[in-house]
Chains A and B, each alone.
Chain A
Amino acid sequence: MNNVDAFIAALPGIGRGILVTLELTLGGAVFAFLIALALGLATRSRLLLVRGATRIVIEFFRGTSLLVQLFWLFYVLPLLGIRLDSLFCGILALALNYGAYGAEVVRGGISAVSIGQFEASRALNFTSWQRMRRVIFPQAWAQMVPPFTNLLIQLLKGTALATFILLHDLNFFINELRRSTGDTLFAYGIGLVIYFVIAYLLTLGMNAVEVRAKNRIAAGPTLREVMGLKPPKARSQIDQTPRSRMTGVIS
């Protein structure tokens, strides 16, 4: 069987694999975001106990590898009598791991908002919740989107580890393709392209989010500045500069 025939034969599988990968990515991202919010806000608690506990949780889930967390959830917990669905395990591990990283993004975004904004909202007698929701978070959000984009792309790549907990994700079917063709270069080449395309689409989506977030807090000039930035080199790679060249969205 030549490569093209093998690829065509593998397509339905790859399609299902892409779906599983997307489920892991989006499910993981949504829950990671919620965890990041909760932990990120808790790092700013007035209570030392809350801050301390939060620190420990964050450091724990950042400091142990995603693979080990997956193995614990999938192979160790059943030994303790807790059996979780493998897709759920995958999403949970991704959420905890990237949520811990995201907590730092949330914390950093909030502390980047100028102290004057906190003071003005206190002078207007907002409750601390109103202050966060109406004044601080919308401004911090614009700061958070670029690092969240990086985390999302990393999370996508992290989903490939789900193969190890017997999920039939994209990575699994790429390995199947390698086995059926015996052509490592070809199969992994296909894998590379598909992951890259997904990452690129996610980046485009996040860039739209970023443009909107910036537009909301500043209007004209800042938006134009953002548009004027050089196009990014490698979108799927970790890249700390804001990537907001979204011709489709801006024009």
Chain B
Amino acid sequence: MPTKSAARTTAVPEPPRIQFEGVVKKFGLNTVLDGLDFSVARGDRVTLIGPSGSGKTTILRLLMTLEEANGGLISIDGEPFTHERKGKRLVAASEKYKRRMRTKIGMVFQQFNLFPNMTVRENITEAPQHVLGQSKDVANMRATELLAQVGLEGKADAHPSQLSGGQQQRVAIARALAMEPKILLLDEVTSSLDPEIVAEVLAILRDIALSTDITMLIVTHEMQFARDVSNRVLMFDGGRIVEEDEPEAIFTNPREKRTQDFLKAVL
């Protein structure tokens, strides 16, 4: 198991917010990530593009600790994420350690995954109250602010089932932001929405991206959105990064053949 990064990351004054070093992820015999290396600086907003099945979702799920890597090291702010330090050694992270690391990360899912047994407000306040230990008043005030930010002022007492898909996804965004994450993972958050609703959700995300310094890792097929919001684009294929660049450059002038083919297919 990996040990190589420990010395190096502590020597750097400001370690990258996210760092993947030689990360391997297999599902059975299917090697999805094959020694993946990349890093994301603080405040970066990175879009991952690449063909379906190239492992974009897997990367986000590894960061959210919904999957476990088979090898390599993931670090957040220079601290090992999948492993914890025991003295000089790195051992598999305990649930307690994972919970501490997870406080830095929020995720918005393609299928929203709102809690149907709670109102919109409760969806947003439940974790801040019971995980972060906020008082009810503080959590409620923050929920009200966030609902205003996502344009759902009047919906606090509605149940998720009474909302449209676009509204549900906006609640899910507010719910993730209520946890004050340093990193926000967005996995095709508009893919299950009707086309006419996509724009309203993207507008809100754009607003959040430009008004906060949350580091974002975005998987999307909305290339215009990627262009507006992100400052870097990573092209994935075959479990590795094929090309990375600023959005303007990669979209107008991709260097690699595989990126060209992919962009031709989606644009």
Among A191-224, those with CB < 8 Å from B are 216-222
Asked whether B99 lies within 8 Å of A127 as measured between CB atoms, the reply is yes
Residues of B within 8 A of A135 (CB): 115, 117
Among B159-178, those with CB < 8 Å from A are 159, 161-162, 175-176
Asked whether A122 and B161 contact (CB < 8 A) given A135-B117, A217-B116, the answer is: no
Q: Does B130 contact A (CB under 8 A)?
A: yes
A249 to B161, CA, bound (A): 22
A126 to B128, CA, bound (A): 10
A218 to B114, CA, bound (A): 12
Residues of A within 8 A of B114 (CB): 120
Among B62-92, those with CB < 8 Å from A are 64-66
Asked whether A219 lies within 8 Å of B117 as measured between CB atoms, the reply is no
User: Across the two chains, which residue of chain A brings its CB closest to B159?
Assistant: A219
Asked whether A123 lies within 8 Å of B99 as measured between CB atoms, the reply is no
A221 to B113, CA, bound (A): 19
Q: Does B106 contact A (CB under 8 A)?
A: yes
Asked whether A125 lies within 8 Å of B116 as measured between CB atoms, the reply is no
Asked whether A122 lies within 8 Å of B66 as measured between CB atoms, the reply is yes
Q: Does B209 contact A (CB under 8 A)?
A: no
Asked whether A123 and B106 contact (CB < 8 A) given A218-B159, A219-B162, the answer is: yes
Q: Does B145 contact A (CB under 8 A)?
A: no
Asked whether A116 lies within 8 Å of B109 as measured between CB atoms, the reply is yes
- Please tell me the number of chain A residues within 8 Å of chain B, measured between CB atoms: 25
Q: Does A139 contact B (CB under 8 A)?
A: yes
Among A119-155, those with CB < 8 Å from B are 119-128, 130, 134-135, 138-139
User: Across the two chains, which residue of chain A brings its CB closest to B104?
Assistant: A125
Q: Does B131 contact A (CB under 8 A)?
A: yes
A217 to B130, CA, bound (A): 20
Q: Does B111 contact A (CB under 8 A)?
A: yes
Q: Does B139 contact A (CB under 8 A)?
A: no
Contact with B along A221-233 (1 / 0, CB 8 A): 1100000000000
From A120, A220, A221, A222, contact of B115 by CB (8 A): A120
Residues of B within 8 A of A222 (CB): 161
Asked whether B66 lies within 8 Å of A124 as measured between CB atoms, the reply is no
Asked whether A125 lies within 8 Å of B107 as measured between CB atoms, the reply is no
Asked whether A139 lies within 8 Å of B65 as measured between CB atoms, the reply is no
Asked whether A123 lies within 8 Å of B115 as measured between CB atoms, the reply is no
Q: Does B208 contact A (CB under 8 A)?
A: no
A130 to B102, CA, bound (A): 16
Residues of B within 8 A of A217 (CB): 116-117
From B64, B95, B126, B130, contact of A123 by CB (8 A): B64
A116 to B108, CA, bound (A): 11
From A122, A125, A134, A216, contact of B179 by CB (8 A): A125
A219 to B131, CA, bound (A): 27
* Chain B residues close to A by CB (< 8 Å): 64-66, 95, 99, 102-103, 105-107, 109, 111, 113-117, 126-127, 130-131, 159, 161-162, 175-176, 179
Task: Give 10 closest A-B pairs by Cβ, nearest first.
Answer: A120-B113, A124-B127, A116-B113, A138-B117, A219-B159, A123-B107, A217-B117, A125-B102, A217-B116, A125-B131
